[in-house]
Amino acid sequence: PEIRGDSIRKRFLDFYAARGHKLLPSSSLVPDDPTVLLTIAGMLQFKPIFLGQVPRSYPCATTTQKVVRTNDIENVGRTARHHTFFEMLGNFSFGDYFKQQAIAWAWELATKEFKLPVERVWVSVFEDDDEALAIWRDEVGVPVERIKRMGAEDNFWSSGATGPCGPCSEMYFDFHPERGTDNADLNDDSRFIEFYNLVFMQYNRTDDGQLEPLKNKNIDTGLGLERMAQILQQVPNNYETDLIYPIIARAAELANVNYQTADDHVKTYLKVIGDHTRAVVYLISDGVYPSNIGRGYIVRRLIRRVVRMGRLLGIRGDGRGNQEGAFLPTIAEVAVGMSGDVDPNVQQQKTKIYNELKREELRFVQTLEKGEKLLEELLTEALEKPVNDKPCLNGKDVFRLYDTFGFPVEITEEVASERGVAVDLAGFEAEMDVQRKQSQAAHNVIKLAVGGAAQEMIARVPETEFLGYNELSSSSSVL
Ligand code: ATP
Ligand code: MG
Ligand code: MG
Ligand code: MG
């Protein structure tokens, strides 16, 4: 009798609604905010209230927010807990309740509502936040061995150099309590999973770097729905929860493989397909179409990854007998079918979604076939002009095959080695690095400038354009 993902979502929202929170819908994945490309956290729709630019219409609110985090793309399918698309459940206080109440409710939710055994819940606090530590220890009763102080990198949220900021406190679930409390490391993901983050927005950082207390202290939280489902459904990773597994099962069926007995390599491909399929379905539903710029480029790259991995798994055609057809719509149907409680709009947009997916997939398959031709030419050339007697593909060409034609380096290597040609992996990595370095701008930071995002943009137009360019390269480097 496992608890379904849909019911976890409902119970979280009901819990906070029953405690006076206004239940609001998720906002779009396309944020109403020029400082981030996509919605990366539940707080984004409330940013103007937190900044005091817009008066609050209710003292506190609760939502499930559709989120896409491209900075986690390299973790997808590799860690048990990271997605590009996921749902972030949240409760928010706009100058209403603060630390003590937020902690008390988070604990009640975890241990009473979701019935996590108390001895399996650990918490982190910001190293200087004695107040939070005292609340967890003295009021909630968490033994000090299960409270860890952490540094600013993990446990202090800020918006940039100045503006509202504050310490965080995270809740973790322990999969291996038998390992004891000595030397336990909350960042050890073979043992722990972070599921809930509480941000205590209590300071304003002034121009001279001082922290001054905010008059209106705010609460911003995020709980990963898929992570809570993993814990409650007792499965080894988020992908095997009922929120994602049906998509994987459909892909496995088309590829004619058995996920449960497949090797890790195949499982990773299937997990990436499960993840990215959800992402592209919700992104297209929110009006982001494949293109070569900005958000559209992210969708394009996600689709290409799914197509590439589907083909590596041997999926051809639409999986229903039409060899010329596209398989992505066949898989996306499952994600669309599960979307009702998240976003009713997806069902209404489904024809549009399938058409976009189909068109993009068929176009990309042509590109892949062109890439195969190019690879052939490069191999012939390498064999004709060996370097120091050794035929070798240079890093720039391998990178071009990867970046422009979607060829994963393993495939290039495999084909090359069949022909007795080596691959300059160091050169390829160097090219990757160049792109990665350009991408540090990372849209995973929500900028909260007291002057207001729009004003900030206007004040820094040239810089902003430059960042836009970097964001573009960043997406291509990670996908
Ligand atoms: P982690 O340390 O595991 O990467 P995080 O500290 O980056 O997580 P937060 O920014 O605190 O995550 O987000 C709030 C919550 O959202 C997390 O506690 C987690 O439950 C969930 N979450 C964050 N990133 C992801 C992701 N990529 N996929 C799924 N859930 C996520
Ligand atoms: Mg993270
Ligand atoms: Mg974390
Ligand atoms: Mg966190």
| Lookup: tokens for 4 | 């379904």
Q: Which of 479, 473, 467 is nearest to 84 (CA)?
A: 479
Name the band, by pLDDT with cuts 50, 70 and 90, for residue 435.
Answer: confident
Pairing of strands 422-423, 392-393: parallel
Let me know if residue 165 belongs to a domain: yes
Together in a domain, 283 and 390: no
Together in a domain, 180 and 281: no
pLDDT at 411: 77
State mean pLDDT over 204-231.
94
| Lookup: tokens for 344 | 């009713």
Is residue 53 scored above 90 in pLDDT? no
Half-sphere exposure of 122 (CA within 13 A, CB side): 24
Q: Which of 367, 434, 419, 422 is nearest to 398 (CA)?
A: 422
More confident residue, 20 or 446: 20
State mean pLDDT over 50-60.
92
Together in a domain, 313 and 400: no
Half-sphere exposure of 81 (CA within 13 A, CB side): 21
State mean pLDDT over 239-258.
98
To test the ligand 1 pocket, which listed residue (70, 88, 196) has its Cβ within 8 A of the most ligand atoms? 88
Least confident of 23-27, 226-230, 453-457, 473-477: 473-477
Together in a domain, 336 and 392: no
The tens digit of pLDDT for each residue in 173-208 reads 999 999 999 999 999 999 999 999 999 999 988 889
Is residue 479 scored above 50 in pLDDT? no
Name the band, by pLDDT with cuts 50, 70 and 90, for residue 1.
Answer: low
- Where does residue 11 rank: exposed (0-12), middle (13-18), buried (19+ CB within 10 A)? middle
Let me know if residue 373 belongs to a domain: no
Name the band, by pLDDT with cuts 50, 70 and 90, for residue 445.
Answer: low
Together in a domain, 356 and 398: no
Let me know if residue 219 belongs to a domain: yes
Is residue 474 scored above 50 in pLDDT? no
The tens digit of pLDDT for each residue in 64-114 reads 999 999 999 989 999 999 999 999 999 999 999 999 999 999 999 999 999
Is residue 442 scored above 50 in pLDDT? no
Rounded Cα gap, residues 9 and 475, in angstroms:
30
The tens digit of pLDDT for each residue in 262-297 reads 999 999 999 999 999 999 999 999 999 999 888 998
State mean pLDDT over 421-433.
94
Name the band, by pLDDT with cuts 50, 70 and 90, for residue 448.
Answer: low
To test the ligand 1 pocket, which listed residue (156, 227, 272, 444) has its Cβ within 8 A of the most ligand atoms? 227
CA of 377 to the centre of ligand 1 (A): 44
Which residues, by Cβ under 5 Å, contact ligand 3, an ion?
194
Together in a domain, 97 and 189: yes
| Lookup: tokens for 38 | 């996509």
DSSP-assigned letter for residue 26 = P
Looking up tokens 């209590």, which residue turns up?
A: 202
Looking up tokens 């927010």, which residue turns up?
A: 65
Four-point Cα dihedral 351, 356, 358, 363, nearest 10: 160
Name the band, by pLDDT with cuts 50, 70 and 90, for residue 459.
Answer: very low
Rounded Cα gap, residues 72 and 47, in angstroms:
23
Together in a domain, 188 and 285: no
> Residue whose CA is closest, atom 11 of ligand 1?
197
Let me know if residue 380 belongs to a domain: no
How many other β-carbons are positioned within 10 Å of the β-carbon of residue 450? Answer: 17
Rounded Cα gap, residues 9 and 5, in angstroms:
6
State mean pLDDT over 328-341.
97
Together in a domain, 406 and 363: no
> Can you say whether residue 250 is alpha, beta or left, with left for phi > 0 and alpha for psi between -120 and 50 degrees?
alpha
Together in a domain, 359 and 461: no
CA of 17 to the centre of ligand 2 (A): 27
pLDDT at 388: 87
pLDDT, the chain, mean: 89
State mean pLDDT over 251-263.
97
Together in a domain, 139 and 9: yes
The tens digit of pLDDT for each residue in 362-380 reads 999 988 888 889 999 999 9
Q: Domain containing 183: what range? A: 5-233
- Spell 98-124 as b/e; 16+ CB within 10 A means b: bbeebbebbbebbbeebebeeebbbbb
Let me know if residue 199 belongs to a domain: yes
Of the ligands numbered here, which is closest to the C-alpha atom of 82?
1
More confident residue, 66 or 412: 66
Last-in-domain residue among 343, 368, 393: 368
Of the ligands numbered here, which is closest to the C-alpha atom of 64?
1
Highest mean pLDDT among 111-125, 291-305, 448-462: 111-125
Crossing angle of helices 350-384 and 409-418, in 10° steps, is 40
Total count of domains within the chain:
3
Name the band, by pLDDT with cuts 50, 70 and 90, for residue 439.
Answer: low
Chain centroid, CA 169 distance in Å: 20
Last-in-domain residue among 317, 337, 368: 368
Residue 226's domain is classified under what CATH number? 3.30.930.10
Together in a domain, 54 and 87: yes
Atom of ligand 1 nearest to the CA of 76: 27
Name the band, by pLDDT with cuts 50, 70 and 90, for residue 468.
Answer: very low
The tens digit of pLDDT for each residue in 143-157 reads 999 999 999 998 999
Of the ligands numbered here, which is closest to the C-alpha atom of 75?
1
Rounded Cα gap, residues 127 and 152, in angstroms:
8
State mean pLDDT over 212-223.
94
pLDDT at 369: 83
Ligand 1 near 222 CB (within 6 A) = yes
Say what the ipTM of the complex is. 0.99
pLDDT at 367: 84
Name the band, by pLDDT with cuts 50, 70 and 90, for residue 163.
Answer: confident
The tens digit of pLDDT for each residue in 19-46 reads 999 999 999 999 998 888 999 999 999 9
Together in a domain, 10 and 149: yes
Last-in-domain residue among 368, 395, 430: 368
Phi, psi of 173 (to 5 degrees): -105, 140
Rounded Cα gap, residues 48 and 34, in angstroms:
13
Is the CB of residue 383 less than 8 Å from the CB of residue 419?
yes
State mean pLDDT over 340-350.
96
pLDDT at 447: 55
How many other β-carbons are positioned within 10 Å of the β-carbon of residue 265? Answer: 10
Stated pTM of the model = 0.85
